A and B are shown apart, each in its own frame.
Chain A
Amino acid sequence: MGGILVYALHDGEGNFNKNSLGALSEATSLASDLGAEAAAVVVGNVSDDQAQSLGNYGVTKVYRASDVPEGLAQPIVDVMAKIIQDDGFSYALFGGGLLGFEIGAGLTARLDAGVTMEVTSVKVADGKLVSERPILGDSQIADVGYVSEPGIIIGRLNAFDVKESGGTAEVVDVNVELSEWSTRAEMITRGEQRGEDVDIEAADVLIGGGRGLGSAEGFDACEELAGAFPNGAVAATRAVVDAGWYPYAAQIGQTGKTVAPKLYLAVGVSGAIQHKVGMQNSEAIIAINKDANAPIFEFSDLGVVGDLNKIMPKLTEALKARKG
């Protein structure tokens, strides 16, 4: 039985992503059940100390490809494919996010491997890993196994808890020749912050605005509604951030923030899984949406089927009147 190789994503300066650290912890515990080892792979600018520190999440070995840039999938596919083949890993595991999807997909093609994604939990059955993969808007959970090795597992955002075990890891530097096509993508800028640096994490109440608002101006009404609550702020979906209607710092979800306010009031938000994963632990969820079949109603405590343009202003007015 080969081990589990985990990709540890970082910001370019060796500050690791929380979802990757969770994946390391998960791999460590799964590997011990399998009687195998878990290892990490890092690329780019990662110091000895930073690489060794991954041992704190249970892995004993960290492969480091310093010459390979962080942030683009295909060069990392080259690195991971080589390590998996040379050292006989049975699985590759990724924490939730975006790059792990691209790298995992690339490995699927390169190594002729099975892949599961949006995985919320992994279990061991007969000495093999089985992924729990929610499907069809989380209405069912499929247990998916692999018919060959390696198996590629891509986690859902926040699926794996970070567990610190206090160890330190051995760092092994690797040199990998990149495929020709992996060198035909060039990072020009990475991690640009678009829009104001708003703080949404301290708010008790978040008004989550989506494409149903119709335009950037629609967010004025959200801000008014947020102002009618004690300690309210405004959050957004990727669709509206991509459209430039609201700052990236306010985005909730798979490639944004994870929040758990006392109240999340979603207006004109469909409730895509990639948004849900960032706000489903809110204490109370209210949704206003004109489509009675919108997925958001499946996980709202109070669902209001109607036109936000009619309801929001009146709600703001009523709350302001109460506040006096």
Chain B
Amino acid sequence: MKICVLVKEVPDAAVQKRIDPQTMRLDRSGENNLNPFDTHAIEAAVRFKEGDELPVDEVVAVTMGPDSAQRALQKAVALGADRSVHLCDDALLGSDVCATGKALAKVLESENPDLVLLGQQSDDGECYTIGAVVAEHLKMPSLTQVVGIEVEGDKLKCERQAEYGYDTVALTMPAVISVGDAINEPRYPSLKAIMGAKKKPLDTKAIGDVGIDAAEVGDTGSKTTVIALNEPPAKEAGEIIEDEDTAETVEKIVAWLDERKLI
């Protein structure tokens, strides 16, 4: 069987993220990285391949993104994916969730996976909806924010937290699952794996290669439009203490609490 893992390139955690007021899109010119939440999805896939509960032949990392997103795929391969697919086309620029979901579903269809894994959220858009959108297009059952998966025949028994506590849901494969970050502790890639990643197959596809209609994606295919960007109401900045001398730090905290009659 085949597991596809959806991974995304996002601005590095250290970058101050901003929207380019000209294009109304995220400025991706700074340092980028593999979405940290996606490392948990890769780890989950690789553990299935290493274990004997599921007969996994292949783990394929799939992304949609600009040229630079190749590096996110290489990271995914260094973390254990066997190969990767990069959907890269100028026509995709500016895709919203509706358009992105359609495009990703088309690439996935071309791979025909038995299981699709995703991260709990992207660190930039934070829409946490892509999993359920893709599942609907692929006509597969799905669940998001899953923190435990048990294999039972062709069913995956998944646990996740929802509004009233923990739910246990059995999905019959093929299925789409977004995993929460508590599902596992991702490994660090070995130096050998990092070096080897560039040699693993990376398939770059344009929209026409997977049957995506240009009118369905990008700005033209998007169903939402950003009308304006506004500043949130101004809020008084909090006080910051850098802990250099802990005794002094504690004294300051106690004084702060005292002043506000909190002790």
Which one of A38-46, A83-91, A164-172, A310-318 contacts B? Answer: A310-318
Q: Is the beta-carbon distance between B97 and A108 smaller than 8 angstroms? A: yes
CB-CB under 8 A from B97, the residues of chain A are: 105, 108, 115
What separation, in Å, do the CA atoms of A179 and B249 have in the docked complex? 60
Which one of A23-31, A58-66, A216-224, A235-243 contacts B? Answer: A235-243
> Shortest Cβ distance from B236 into chain A, in angstroms?
8
What separation, in Å, do the CA atoms of A105 and B144 have in the docked complex? 11
Q: Is the beta-carbon distance between A184 and B171 smaller than 8 angstroms? A: yes
Supposing A74-B141, A304-B243, A314-B246 touch, asked if A145 and B227 sit within 8 A by C-beta, the answer is yes
Q: Which A residue sits closest to B145, measured CB to CB?
A: A98
Asked if A112 lies at the interface with its beta carbon under 8 angstroms from chain B, I say: yes
Which one of B48-56, B106-114, B192-200, B252-260 contacts A? Answer: B252-260
What separation, in Å, do the CA atoms of A112 and B120 have in the docked complex? 23
Q: Is the beta-carbon distance between B254 and A322 smaller than 8 angstroms? A: yes
What separation, in Å, do the CA atoms of A156 and B11 have in the docked complex? 24
Q: Which A residue sits closest to B223, measured CB to CB?
A: A114
Supposing A142-B229, A311-B249 touch, asked if A190 and B167 sit within 8 A by C-beta, the answer is yes
Q: Is the beta-carbon distance between A109 and B101 smaller than 8 angstroms? A: yes
Asked if B206 lies at the interface with its beta carbon under 8 angstroms from chain A, I say: no
What separation, in Å, do the CA atoms of A214 and B246 have in the docked complex? 20
> For chain A, which range describes its interface: under 10, 10 to 19, 20 to 34, or 35 or more residues?
35 or more
Asked if B67 lies at the interface with its beta carbon under 8 angstroms from chain A, I say: no
Asked if B140 lies at the interface with its beta carbon under 8 angstroms from chain A, I say: yes
Which one of B57-65, B82-90, B125-133 contacts A? Answer: B125-133
What separation, in Å, do the CA atoms of A103 and B129 have in the docked complex? 9
Asked if B31 lies at the interface with its beta carbon under 8 angstroms from chain A, I say: no
Q: Is the beta-carbon distance between A205 and B262 smaller than 8 angstroms? A: yes
Q: Is the beta-carbon distance between A180 and B14 smaller than 8 angstroms? A: no
CB-CB under 8 A from A147, the residues of chain B are: 222-225
Q: Is the beta-carbon distance between A135 and B96 smaller than 8 angstroms? A: no
Asked if A49 lies at the interface with its beta carbon under 8 angstroms from chain B, I say: no
Q: Is the beta-carbon distance between B232 and A180 smaller than 8 angstroms? A: no
Q: Is the beta-carbon distance between A239 and B232 smaller than 8 angstroms? A: no
CB-CB under 8 A from A192, the residues of chain B are: 165-168
What separation, in Å, do the CA atoms of A130 and B226 have in the docked complex? 9
> Shortest Cβ distance from B180 into chain A, in angstroms?
6
CB-CB under 8 A from A205, the residues of chain B are: 262
Q: Is the beta-carbon distance between B136 and A106 smaller than 8 angstroms? A: yes
> Shortest Cβ distance from B160 into chain A, in angstroms?
8
Q: Is the beta-carbon distance between A304 and B253 smaller than 8 angstroms? A: yes
Q: Is the beta-carbon distance between B163 and A97 smaller than 8 angstroms? A: yes
> Shortest Cβ distance from A41 into chain B, in angstroms?
17
Partner among B13, B129, B157, B166 whose Cβ is within 8 Å of the Cβ of A105:
B129
Residues of A within 8 A of B (CB): 9, 11-12, 17, 71-74, 77, 97-99, 101-106, 108-110, 112-118, 125, 130, 134-148, 151, 154, 179-182, 184-194, 205, 229-230, 238-239, 241-243, 248, 255, 262-263, 273, 284-286, 292-293, 297, 299-307, 310-311, 314-315, 318-319, 322-323
Q: Supply 25 A–B pairs (Cβ within 8 Å), ascending by A.
A: A72-B169, A74-B135, A97-B163, A101-B129, A103-B132, A105-B136, A108-B101, A114-B98, A141-B229, A143-B227, A145-B224, A148-B223, A184-B172, A189-B166, A192-B166, A241-B161, A286-B256, A302-B238, A302-B240, A302-B253, A302-B256, A304-B243, A314-B247, A315-B250, A318-B251
Q: What would 14 more interface pairs be, CB under 8 Å, given A248-B165, A262-B262?
A: A12-B164, A72-B169, A98-B162, A106-B135, A134-B232, A138-B232, A142-B228, A189-B166, A189-B167, A229-B262, A255-B162, A255-B163, A299-B235, A300-B238
The 8 lowest CB-CB distance pairs between A and B, nearest first, are A306-B243, A114-B223, A242-B182, A191-B164, A105-B132, A109-B136, A105-B129, A114-B224
